Amino acid sequence: MLGGEAGVGVVAQVPHLQAPTVDYGAIAPVLIVLGAACLSVLVEAFVARSARWSSQVALTLLTLGAAGAALGVHLYSFAADGRNVVTLAGTISVDGPALFLWGTLLALGLAAVLLIADRSVEPGGAFSADAAVRPGTAADRAQAEGAVRTAETVMQTEVFPLFLFSLGGMMVFLAANDLLTMFVALEVLSLPLYLMCGLARRRRLLAQEAAVKYFLLGAFSSAFFLYGVALLYGYAGSVSLARIAEASAGSNRPDMLLFCGLALLMVGLLFKGSVGPFHTWTPDVYQGAATPVTAFMAACTKVAAFGAILRVLTVAFEGTRWEWRGLLWAVAIASMVIGAVLGLTQTDVKRMIAYSSVAHAGFLLVGAIALTAQGLSGTMFYLLAYGFTTLAAFGVVTLVRNADGEATHLSQWAGLAKRSPLTAAVFAFLLFALAGIPLTSGFTGKFAVFSAALADGMAPLVVIALVASAVAAFFYLRVVVLMYFSEPAIDGPTVSVPGAFTTAAITLGVVVTLLLGVVPTFALNWAALGAFGS
Amino acid sequence: MLQPYVPLVLLLLLAGGFAVFSIVAAPHIGPRRYNRAKLDAYECGIEPSPQPVAGAGRMPVAYYLTAMLFILFDIEMVFLYPFAVAADSLGIFGLVEIVLFIVTLGFAYAYVWRRGGLDWN
């Protein structure tokens, strides 16, 4: 009879549960970040408001340092024996790519949290002092001005626990060895991000609109992801990536479930990586969110999403690559074309970098679908390089301000080099890196990804990617020309002198961008250290 | 091959047939007595509370917080019941896990409590 056996299984006594073995050393970085996130909630609850900012900043920086140290300790033993740790009953795989991307996430998270914590560029901080005040009222204007640093105008610090939860979710997301863990991690990383988008101090209607849009579309894409998981479970009888690979190897099961499941799963993953044509939320959310949050999103979410894409494609779907590869070719081309062409028409600098991120997602996908060791290390190197460049670029965006906050319209950036040569030079350098000019990390990253794709026989795709790079280079260079060869606007913006935190974040981004362009060998070797284990 | 699905199809037909039959037959064979309650959105139970007149029928936003808190502790219960039933076979490991779960929720509870989420005003 149909379902007879399953019925008996439910009624029968639950078998004695074996506690899964946990390799605490390997997953210590994740445990530290998530544990500190819980502590951070308690700080919000019990520390007086005047002391919260300093406690939260200290706690967050300490956490990132401790997680980095724990990662370093495990990396030391990993470098000696190269052993991939699969722990927590096979749900988390701490392997070479996971370790590299965890390190990347922690480093990018450090730079992002420096931008988030800054209270000097925007007096009182970039985040709302009282999120319950209705936008447009007198109370809202008072908290937006924030010039007088009273208890009412200093930023709320909920953004720190949200940041830590999101970062912890990202770390689990890219190390998840089965699809259910991956889904839970997806939610853990997404839900805090939705909230963080709506916390901006200025232009709060825009920020709240961005948060709602991101939430609705994100919930929709999570549903796609979950539906894909369900179909793949129906196909393979398991959500484990390795089991799915085994099931698809030489079986006569109907492929329909497998490929429908993969397609739906990829929609969810590509959405998070803001790969076109699943990118429509990107410009609005990047523009509306407070710029430090945008920097965090642009850098870290991309690392997490592409880490997961690489893992899913390599571990679970390598055997069937010839069936699905054509479709992802099309997605990569669409993403590069959409990013490069629509980027040309943008007049807002944050939207322009958003479209640039869509184009970069296309380049990343070119490397990700190569599914070779070279493609894996190239894509991971690209993530590291792109993350620091885009983070520093958003850091510079926070500095160019007028009375209403950030002056993001490109016309206001005209002649910036005459007002502030250093800011213009730094931004021009970062734009060169985004365009992929030699001696910047952008060039090395593109070279690594495109040569991996060429070696894997994807010459036509590489040609399209090169053309897209050239088109995209035009709109980066247009901004450089605007900054250096235009007359400054009469009522143009002023460039704030950044405090220590923002200076540190931008300096970190610029130095990494330069180092990865000039001496990339160390990072490339590290990226090539290991393959996925399951 | 499709043999096991025949009862399922029969059940589907039976369920659909019953629904259609009920809707078609009810107006013909049932009595017709109209009153005010019949025109309400929800016929059974208590009267739905009147919409607030001020603010164009808006709800106080504090309801939202209450609903969120309800879901938080409702989910806690959802996990505690099956745990209680299977506590024996789950052993110490299960106990540790459920305590960790409750403690984590306790953090959220402490936050809501300290920040005035439980004050009605």
- pLDDT, one tens digit per residue, over B19-34 is 999 999 988 888 877 7
Q: What is the pLDDT of residue B41?
A: 66
Contact A321, A239 (CB under 8 A): no
Using DSSP bridges, classify how beta strands A400-402 and A405-406 pair: parallel, antiparallel or unpaired: antiparallel
Q: What is the pLDDT of residue B116?
A: 84
User: A198-222 burial by CB neighbour count: b if 16+ within 10 A, else e?
Assistant: bbbbbbbebbbbbbebbbebbeebb
Q: What is the pLDDT of residue B37?
A: 67
Mutate to test the interface with B, among A1, A10, A14 (most CBs of B within 10 A): A14
Taken in order A178, A179, A180, A186, is the CA torsion positive or negative? positive
Q: Report how far residue A390's alpha carbon sits from residue A299's, in angstroms, rounded to the nearest whole number.
A: 7
Alpha helix positions (H), chain B: 6-29, 62-114
**Half-sphere exposure of residue A190: CA atoms within 13 angstroms, side-chain side:** 25
What ipTM score was computed for the predicted complex, to two decimals? Answer: 0.83
A195 CB neighbours in chain B (<8 A) are none
B7 CB neighbours in chain A (<8 A) are 2
- pLDDT, one tens digit per residue, over B46-104 is 655 665 565 556 667 778 888 888 888 898 999 999 999 988 888 888 899 999 999 99
Classified as helix, coil or strand, A103 is helix
Mutate to test the interface with B, among A41, A52, A134, A188 (most CBs of B within 10 A): A41
Give the chain A residue nearest B89 (alpha carbons): A16
Contact A220, A279 (CB under 8 A): no
Q: Report how far residue A478's alpha carbon sits from residue A431's, in angstroms, rounded to the nearest whole number.
A: 10
Q: Report how far residue A297's alpha carbon sits from residue B49's, in angstroms, rounded to the nearest whole number.
A: 43
> Between A255-272 and A179-197, two packed helices, what is the crossing angle to 10 degrees?
30
In A189-228, the residues whose Cβ lies within 8 Å of chain B are none
Q: pLDDT by residue for chain A (534 residues), tens digit each?
A: 344 444 444 445 556 777 788 899 999 999 999 999 999 999 999 999 889 999 999 999 999 999 999 999 999 999 888 888 999 889 999 999 999 999 999 999 999 999 999 988 888 888 988 777 788 788 787 777 765 556 667 888 999 999 999 999 999 999 999 999 999 999 999 999 999 999 998 888 999 999 999 999 999 999 999 999 999 999 999 999 999 999 988 777 888 899 999 999 999 999 999 998 999 999 999 999 999 999 999 999 999 999 999 999 999 999 888 889 999 999 999 999 999 999 999 999 999 999 999 999 999 999 999 999 999 999 999 999 999 999 999 999 999 998 888 889 998 999 899 989 999 999 999 999 999 999 999 999 999 999 999 999 999 999 999 999 999 999 999 999 999 999 887 777 888 888 899 999 999 999 999 999 999 999 999 898 888 887
Contact A10, A37 (CB under 8 A): no
A1 CB within 8 Å of a chain B CB: yes
Q: What is the pLDDT of residue A194?
A: 96
Q: Report how far residue A66's alpha carbon sits from residue A106's, in angstroms, rounded to the nearest whole number.
A: 10
Q: Report how far residue A479's alpha carbon sits from residue A88's, in angstroms, rounded to the nearest whole number.
A: 49
A15 CB within 8 Å of a chain B CB: yes
HEC secondary structure over A216-281: HHHHHHHHHHHHHHHHHHHHHCCCEHHHHHHHHCCCCCCHHHHHHHHHHHHHHHHHHCCCCCCCCH
Beta bridge partners of A86: A93
Contact A173, A189 (CB under 8 A): yes
**Half-sphere exposure of residue A172: CA atoms within 13 angstroms, side-chain side:** 27
Q: Report how far residue A409's alpha carbon sits from residue A403's, in angstroms, rounded to the nearest whole number.
A: 14
Q: Token digits for B99?
A: 């305590």
Q: What is the pLDDT of residue A6?
A: 44
Classified as helix, coil or strand, A85 is strand
Query: Within 10 A of A171 (CB to CB), how many other CB atoms are there?
Result: 31
Q: Token digits for A408?
A: 């993001």
Q: Token digits for A401?
A: 């301000």
CA distance A20 to chain B (A): 9
Exposure of B61 by Cβ count < 10 A (0-12 exposed, 13-18 middle, 19+ buried)?
A: exposed
Q: Token digits for A427?
A: 């931004």
List residues of chain B with CB under 8 Å from any CB of chain A: 4-5, 7-8, 86, 89-94, 104, 107-108, 110-111, 113-115
> How many CB contacts within 8 angstroms connect chain A with chain B?
40
Q: Report how far residue A145's alpha carbon sits from residue A331's, in angstroms, rounded to the nearest whole number.
A: 44
Question: Are the beta carbons of A2 and B104 separated by less than 8 Å?
Answer: no
Q: Taking Cα atoms as reference points, which of A164, A158, A162 lies closest to residue A130?
A: A158
**Edge-to-edge order in the sheet of strand A405-406:** A405-406, A400-402, A494-495
Percent of chain B with pLDDT over 90: 34
Using DSSP bridges, classify how beta strands A405-406 and A494-495 pair: parallel, antiparallel or unpaired: unpaired
Contact A205, A136 (CB under 8 A): yes
A46 CB within 8 Å of a chain B CB: yes
Contact A140, A204 (CB under 8 A): yes
Tell me if the bond preceding A277 is cis, omega within 30° of 0. yes
Q: What is the pLDDT of residue A132?
A: 76
B8 CB neighbours in chain A (<8 A) are 2
